[in-house]
Amino acid sequence: MQIPALSSALEGMSRAETQLNKAATDIARAPGSDIVDLSASTVALMESRNNFEANTKVFKVADDMSKVLLNVVG
């Protein structure tokens, strides 16, 4: 049985990880960069963290729901 919410959450977590890695790399290269670029990278870093946390919560809820369903069914 495949639960779409679990797949969506995992995909979202993967996208957030990719975005986080890119933002962290941009920030690491920032010492010679423009302040605006550093600000945008910092915002992207915070956004990716929030996206990862949100997808983690979706994954947890979907997992809890599937456990309840399995307990009811079997």
Number of domains composing the chain:
1
Pairwise CA distance, residues 71 & 4, whole Å: 19
- Which residues form the domain of 13? 4-73
pLDDT of residue 35: 66
Q: At what angle do helices 35-73 and 4-28 cross, to 10 degrees?
A: 160
pLDDT at 33 over 70: no
- Given pLDDT bands bounded at 50, 70 and 90, which one contains residue 1? low
Residue found by looking up tokens 């307990």 in the block = 71
**Mean pLDDT for the stretch of residues 56-69:** 91
pTM surpassing 0.85?
Answer: no
Mean pLDDT of 29-54: 84
The CA-to-CA distance between both ends of the chain, in Å, stands at 14
CA distances from 12 to 9, 21, 47, 52, 65 (A): 5, 14, 12, 7, 19
pLDDT band, very low/low/confident/very high, at 20 (cuts 50, 70, 90): very high
Task: Summarize the confidence of residues 23-47 as an average pLDDT.
Answer: 82
Write down the pLDDT at residue 39. 86
